[in-house]
Amino acid sequence: MSVPSQTPAAAGPTGVWLVGARGSVATTTIAGCAALAAGLLPPTGLVTETPPFARSGLPALSSLVFGGHDTADGPLTKRAEQLAAQGVLPHWLPAAVHGELTAADSRVRPGGPQPGDDRGPEELITAFATDIREFVHSTGVARTVVVNVASTEPAPGSGEWPASSLYAAAALRVGCAYVNFTPSTGLRHPQLAAAARDSGLPYTGRDGKTGQTLLRSVLAPMFGQRALTVRAWSGTNLLGGGDGASLADPAAAAAKNAGKERVLVDNLGALPAGEVHIDDVPALGDWKTAWDHVAFDGFLGTRMVLQTIWQGCDSALAAPLVLDLARLLARAHEVGLTGPRPELGFYFKDPDGDSASLSEQYAALLAFAERLGESR
Amino acid sequence: MSVPSQTPAAAGPTGVWLVGARGSVATTTIAGCAALAAGLLPPTGLVTETPPFARSGLPALSSLVFGGHDTADGPLTKRAEQLAAQGVLPHWLPAAVHGELTAADSRVRPGGPQPGDDRGPEELITAFATDIREFVHSTGVARTVVVNVASTEPAPGSGEWPASSLYAAAALRVGCAYVNFTPSTGLRHPQLAAAARDSGLPYTGRDGKTGQTLLRSVLAPMFGQRALTVRAWSGTNLLGGGDGASLADPAAAAAKNAGKERVLVDNLGALPAGEVHIDDVPALGDWKTAWDHVAFDGFLGTRMVLQTIWQGCDSALAAPLVLDLARLLARAHEVGLTGPRPELGFYFKDPDGDSASLSEQYAALLAFAERLGESR
Amino acid sequence: MSVPSQTPAAAGPTGVWLVGARGSVATTTIAGCAALAAGLLPPTGLVTETPPFARSGLPALSSLVFGGHDTADGPLTKRAEQLAAQGVLPHWLPAAVHGELTAADSRVRPGGPQPGDDRGPEELITAFATDIREFVHSTGVARTVVVNVASTEPAPGSGEWPASSLYAAAALRVGCAYVNFTPSTGLRHPQLAAAARDSGLPYTGRDGKTGQTLLRSVLAPMFGQRALTVRAWSGTNLLGGGDGASLADPAAAAAKNAGKERVLVDNLGALPAGEVHIDDVPALGDWKTAWDHVAFDGFLGTRMVLQTIWQGCDSALAAPLVLDLARLLARAHEVGLTGPRPELGFYFKDPDGDSASLSEQYAALLAFAERLGESR
Amino acid sequence: MSVPSQTPAAAGPTGVWLVGARGSVATTTIAGCAALAAGLLPPTGLVTETPPFARSGLPALSSLVFGGHDTADGPLTKRAEQLAAQGVLPHWLPAAVHGELTAADSRVRPGGPQPGDDRGPEELITAFATDIREFVHSTGVARTVVVNVASTEPAPGSGEWPASSLYAAAALRVGCAYVNFTPSTGLRHPQLAAAARDSGLPYTGRDGKTGQTLLRSVLAPMFGQRALTVRAWSGTNLLGGGDGASLADPAAAAAKNAGKERVLVDNLGALPAGEVHIDDVPALGDWKTAWDHVAFDGFLGTRMVLQTIWQGCDSALAAPLVLDLARLLARAHEVGLTGPRPELGFYFKDPDGDSASLSEQYAALLAFAERLGESR
């Protein structure tokens, strides 16, 4: 099902700058990339390692160089060991990729603003941009993709600068492609609209589609295609990692739920009744469970029900998509594509263009893969 | 989501000859068609009543005339009351469509062969063809579609003529389009291959996709598109109606399971581990429950699980598809299309052409709808 | 599994005064009692019709006379038809028990306070007591049990008189045994404590245990008995009837959730992590679905999960318990038992005495049944 | 919830002879006992470490000495590493208890009969007895409990000696208490009845209750107590370890299913409709998933459904029960109790005495714990 990466080595290494570089997703991304580059594990979950992407000119996994911002201390090696203890990473992996984790760790810079930090937005943007620029120079990467994988923020008040937008502004300033893998604001800040448009950079988002919403994006079209009437679509998510804690904040959950609802609206034509809950269950660690209950009407109004239970590991679902997006956007940057990339809706709850069924999004992704290859 | 049937009345009524005309599916089909034609209920579940089919020239629901074969006695009105008592039909419906049920009932002829019947295949085909021909003459229908909705047969031994193939042969002989909604052999009998090919008739099958397999045809592609490795796909079906009883026979279940497996093979590239059980649970009546358990590997080999529980009413899931297929094949016959119709794979577990994801099948169906309209 | 009611007819009829007499639970209770008394259906779900209660001296179902308060208009016969259309009652039942429903309906008096009603607590209690007294006189019942089956109230502010407590006060004043089947305050109002204690009446509550909590009261003990450590117990309830709407109010849900939590605390020794959601899903009507997810640790800390899905009809789960409780409390009153009845914890989320496992509660109920019989 | 083992050290060590000593259950038992004795992990799942057993005089975990028979080669240390890789044991545990595993491994003797072994029953019994006797002498244990944890056998033909009965005969001959944790025949062989009766030894079985049946033994009583009518109880088990493979043999599954059915019959009064499937799903390894679907009737015949999904680790569910049983039977032997021990029905699908609800079985176990203490 997968092929070795046949892309010709791009001119030198490619940078991946992770906002939230010491979180579970980032740690899994860095450790996993190293494991795959070394051939220690097959590239399960990595769409860009399947045959349709073999001629797209994507940077090789072995050419990716990681750095990033984080407000947390503590070495990536320790974080990886914690993830291994939970079963998120194979227990032997932290030791096997110790060198790569240590190297990436040395390129993580303090994020912000931390409590007590009284720098204003412009100062912070400048500081973040300086960090990224230094990374680019010191590593000699040909180009860098900034990827936001930090905890979800509460929706900002009017006129406020959420941290995610400060990092996004820094990315633009340094000339980096940008991916927002979270529901946070990022580049979609009113004061960044013009800069994004004029940047000549490709960017994409928002909010990676890794579990319940992924399922919804294949099930909702089925109801429509079969002319079945969805009466109510209800769901509960249990998750325990940092994401569980941050989404237990209703303000943060609101942004996430908007994306979940968008998938139903876009595929069913209207938002059905039903609520979505996100519960913080620390005992689950990085594992998440999503239960969905769909009450629908069939022929002659008969009442029917579909229920789904999705039990997955949050970081392991997200990390390969982060690698996919970094590679795709790096290549898009290389071949001169700019602006929002609706072709990457396959990866997002709240994509840049029209939302659609997963199969339509997959078709668009394959077309994009071909286009990237033709530009070679 | 649906529009009134805007098709111009075809020249006269269209016949629908149901093999298994007194079963749950047939009764629901006849009663439901009458209810919809009278505007008593919205056409939920009827794909051919959605906008893309408005200009396909399909026969109006009010123009369909039902007859058929059955080995069972007993009026359709009584069968409809039993279904209403189970909640399959609205409790007021049998009374509301009593006239249409009685009329259809008068056009049901004894099926066969019954125990003790010593007629050979040729005699039986002739008798069945005579019944259908008489129906055509007496009702004045412009054309007739024969639809097999009888209980699933055990797979026939080599050289045997299963009943489903006798009815299919009779359909060919009278010049009727043919739909096999069951896993039985029907037209796919070696001794009917040449006659089917030379008949100049359109036909399609096999085995309506109404629940577990419908779900599988949208979920299996998701795993492939996301490069997730399915390790095992297991399932259990509980159902109680006549279908439950006939599928409790392992020989009959074998045919059904072959179709279920085909969907996985065609969408995953190989058959994963895992079994499928079909249990007869009379207490469930016409309601069926399908539990599926999919063990899959994500990034770095993390073990994840998706489970689905589908609770539906078998006849209410099947009946609108029977109406869709009868209308589509009647129109195909009218515009001169012949042979197997792979464009109708959307409806089947074991379609005539390549199997595919439901979304690809839906796209093919929409293209077919357009083609039918252009032929007007 | 059940026996005909062998209780000797008590001296004359017994009154059942339902607070919320036109709701789904009350309607199902009245219609169901009539159906069972007439032998139209077996007494499924009625614990007091099982053999251990045959010699308890309970009033016969045929001797129960219903009346009550409700703020809603509209005849019980119409409400019964609505329930039958939803499948809560057999569709033929409303017609079969039309007489009994009409008779009960004639004994329903306006509840309160309605918006704009400026009567104070004392006036309302007096008015309610007058209604009940009139019912007692006009029907000639030997004694009456008042049962609160009204929608759940928000928890009252300090010093406030919630409606449920006004009705409970009226019950005391007229000398009626009292059952609180809801999470509302009822007799557990500080200003009623002395009156309840001195009343010489039996009473019981609170909050009928009909679904998720019933399950929890058998599953939680299992974890304890097997020394398995529950890490988190999470749950979501979807329900659509009036209860769904009233419990969508967080203040009303708070009372209900307290009872649910109590079962876990009492059986596990401490409240595990995990939340409980109650969603109003009107499409479900009177049907409710409860999903529970229990994350627990086994030997050597292995992580395991139990999930349960309960799909039941709220009124059909509650109504037989209402009949059980009315009969048991009428008999307790007859034989001179007074005060709170912890022996009835089998029926409640938040019982009068110590909570316990369902099996312990069942044993206590059987002992109570015997005691009632001995008093004969 | 648990207390340190306060039992006074019995006079010297106690032997535990495991039939199937290199299987997953045995390995987890030995490794887990060592981990608990060393205080490395809390005694989750070990009922005999809860307060009610503190004064029962049970042998301390640290005093248990393991040996056994197995037809497989290969060191226990390697088997433990395999289990750790699957997440059954903590990944650090095999190294931490390497010494104990190696010591136990040195006491494992070849089981039989292997293919090509032409020894008759008497010779085999003698050989097995010699092995056990040698273990007793070399370790100086005061007494030994033989526990069958080998793969389930097909039901033997009439007159045949299944291997499990040969081992049981050897246990009797050496004077060891005996536990049959599997559905195999063991001591319940017609030719062993007299010897067992006259042995003066305590013994117990059959078929440990670790998942689906454990749940059934708490849920089935609930339906009975609430007078709800179970219409059908269906279930599917997916499991992948050696047990999955051996139970895929219908003859072996038959014995297991008989136990599962017994729990329903004993608690519901009759066997409801519904089948049980056991599927071998190697991808699940030692993890098992059990789905149960209970269709039941409530008040007025309303149709309701309960579904449960149990996801557990087979060996981690079984191992603490094995330790419990070995300790309880060793103590029973010490205080002179003989014959079958119906008090241990808590642990078995097919216990020696009447089956019952789990709560009744737990009460019987607590009474037994007290009795063992009084005999001190």
Q: Report pLDDT for C254.
A: 80
Residue A348: Cβ-neighbour burial (10 angstroms; 0-12, 13-18, 19+):
buried
Q: Tokens representing D353?
A: 């005495």
Answer whether residue B314 shows pLDDT above 90: yes
Q: Output the domain CATH number for residue C296.
A: 3.30.360.10
Q: What is the DSSP track for A52-93?
A: GGTTS-PPPGGGEEEEEEES--S-HHHHHHHHHHTTSS-TTH
CA pseudo-torsion sign B153, B154, B156, B160: negative
User: Average pLDDT, stretch D102-118?
Assistant: 94
Are residues B196 and B236 located together in one domain of the fold? no
CB contact (8 A) between residue A32 and residue B317: no
Q: Report pLDDT for C176.
A: 98
Answer whether residue A347 shows pLDDT above 80: yes
Q: Which residue of A has its CA nearest to D311?
A: A311
Q: Is residue C367 part of a domain?
A: yes
Are residues B233 and B177 located together in one domain of the fold? no
- Average pLDDT score, chain C: 93
Share of chain A above pLDDT 90, in %: 81
Q: Tell me how far the alpha carbon of residue C57 is from its chain's centroid.
A: 21
pLDDT grade, residue C1 (50/70/90)? very low
C-D contacts (CB, under 8 Å): 181
Are residues C197 and C244 located together in one domain of the fold? no
Are residues D52 and D130 located together in one domain of the fold? yes
Helix, strand, coil: what percent of chain C each, to 5? Answer: 45, 20, 35
Q: Report pLDDT for C4.
A: 41
Share of chain D above pLDDT 90, in %: 81
Report the distance separating Cα A313 and Cα A320, nearest Å.
12
Cα separation values, B165 from B107, B158, C296, D318, Å: 21, 13, 55, 53
User: Average pLDDT, stretch D340-361?
Assistant: 91
Spell out which residues of chain A touch residue D309, defining contact as CB-CB under 8 Å.
309
Report the distance separating Cα D45 and Cα D55, nearest Å.
19
Instruction: Say if strands B229-239 and B287-297 run parallel, antiparallel, or are unpaired.
Output: antiparallel
Q: Tokens representing A125?
A: 């943007």
Are residues C240 and C191 located together in one domain of the fold? no
Are residues A243 and A362 located together in one domain of the fold? no
Mutate to test the interface with A, among B36, B215, B265, B299 (most CBs of A within 10 A): B299
CA pseudo-torsion sign D147, D150, D155, D160: negative
Spell out which residues of chain B touch residue A214, defining contact as CB-CB under 8 Å.
222, 226
Are residues A123 and A40 located together in one domain of the fold? yes
Answer whether residue D54 shows pLDDT above 90: yes
Q: Is residue B6 part of a domain?
A: no
User: Who has greater pLDDT, D3 or D236?
Assistant: D236
Q: Is residue C44 part of a domain?
A: yes
Q: Is residue B196 part of a domain?
A: yes
Q: Is residue B8 part of a domain?
A: no
Spell out which residues of chain D touch residue A87, defining contact as CB-CB under 8 Å.
87
Closest CA to B29 of B336, B269, B320: B320
User: Average pLDDT, stretch B337-365?
Assistant: 93
Torsion of CA C315, C318, C319, C324, to 10 degrees: 180
Q: Are C22 and C149 in contact (CB under 8 A)?
A: no
Residue B110: Cβ-neighbour burial (10 angstroms; 0-12, 13-18, 19+):
middle
Most confident of A106-120, A169-183, B250-264: A169-183
Answer whether residue C248 shows pLDDT above 80: no
Are residues C84 and C97 located together in one domain of the fold? yes
Answer whether residue A47 shows pLDDT above 60: yes
**How many other C-beta atoms can be found within 10 angstroms of the C-beta atom of residue B373?**
18
pLDDT tens for C166-175 read 999 999 999 9
User: Average pLDDT, stretch D300-322?
Assistant: 97
- C299: closest CA of chain D, how far (Å): 5
CB contact (8 A) between residue B306 and residue A215: yes
Are residues C230 and C273 located together in one domain of the fold? yes
pLDDT tens for D157-191 read 888 999 999 999 999 999 999 999 999 999 999 99
Residue that is last in its domain, among C312, C340, C360: C312
Q: Tokens representing C308?
A: 């349960």
CB contact (8 A) between residue A279 and residue C274: yes
Q: Which residue of B has its CA nearest to C81?
A: B91
Report the distance separating Cα A292 and Cα A144, nearest Å.
38
Q: Is residue A45 part of a domain?
A: yes
Spell out which residues of chain B touch residue A300, defining contact as CB-CB under 8 Å.
28, 32, 35, 41, 44, 89-90, 93, 316
- Phi and psi at D18, nearest 5°, equal -100, 120
Across D205-241, b (16+ Cβ under 10 Å) vs e yields bbbbbbbbbbbbbbbbbbbbbbbbbbbbbbbbbbbbb
Q: Tokens representing C24?
A: 């789904």
pLDDT tens for B115-165 read 899 999 999 999 999 999 999 999 999 999 999 999 999 889 888 999 999
Report the distance separating Cα C147 and Cα C320, nearest Å.
13
As for how many domains chain C has, the answer is 2
SS3 of B4-44:
CCCCCCCCCCEEEEEECCCCHHHHHHHHHHHHHHCCCCCCC
Q: Report pLDDT for A4.
A: 41
Over the Cα atoms of chain C, what is R_g? Answer: 20
Are residues A252 and A128 located together in one domain of the fold? no
Q: Report pLDDT for B350.
A: 92
Answer whether residue D283 shows pLDDT above 50: yes
Q: Which residue of B has its CA nearest to D307?
A: B309
Residue that is last in its domain, among D265, D290, D312: D312
Q: Is residue B53 part of a domain?
A: yes
Q: Output the domain CATH number for residue A177.
A: 3.40.50.720
- C122: closest CA of chain D, how far (Å): 38
Cα separation values, B13 from C275, C352, D364, Å: 59, 70, 74
- Average pLDDT score, chain D: 93
Interface of C with A (CB under 8 A): 231-232, 234, 236, 238, 273-275, 277, 279, 281-284, 289, 291, 293, 295, 305, 307, 309, 311
Residue C7: Cβ-neighbour burial (10 angstroms; 0-12, 13-18, 19+):
buried
pLDDT tens for C82-101 read 999 988 999 999 999 999 99
User: Average pLDDT, stretch C152-179?
Assistant: 95
- Classify B69 as helix, strand or coil: strand
Are residues A85 and A187 located together in one domain of the fold? yes
pLDDT grade, residue A253 (50/70/90)? confident
Report the distance separating Cα A27 and Cα A40, nearest Å.
17
B-C contacts (CB, under 8 Å): 7
Residue that is last in its domain, among B312, B337, B353: B312
Q: Tell me how far the alpha carbon of residue C109 is from its chain's centroid.
A: 20
- B244: closest CA of chain C, how far (Å): 22
* Cβ-based neighbours of B32, under 8 Å, separated by 6 or more: A299, A300, B41, B89, B319, B320, B323
Q: Report pLDDT for B345.
A: 96
pLDDT tens for C298-340 read 999 999 999 999 999 999 999 999 999 999 999 999 999 999 9
Are residues C111 and C225 located together in one domain of the fold? no
Answer whether residue C69 shows pLDDT above 60: yes
CB contact (8 A) between residue B238 and residue D231: no
pLDDT tens for B295-313 read 999 999 999 999 999 999 9
Q: Which residue of D has its CA nearest to A81?
A: D91
Q: Is residue D120 part of a domain?
A: yes
Instruction: Quote the domain boundaries for residue B244.
Output: 212-312
The chains found to touch D (3+ Cβ pairs under 8 angstroms) are A, B, C
Spell out which residues of chain B touch residue C84, defining contact as CB-CB under 8 Å.
91
pLDDT grade, residue D376 (50/70/90)? low
* Cβ-based neighbours of A349, under 8 Å, separated by 6 or more: A183, A206, A207, A208, A209, A213, A256, A259, A260, A262, A263
A87-91, A353-357, C155-159: segment of lowest average pLDDT: A353-357
Q: Report pLDDT for C376.
A: 54
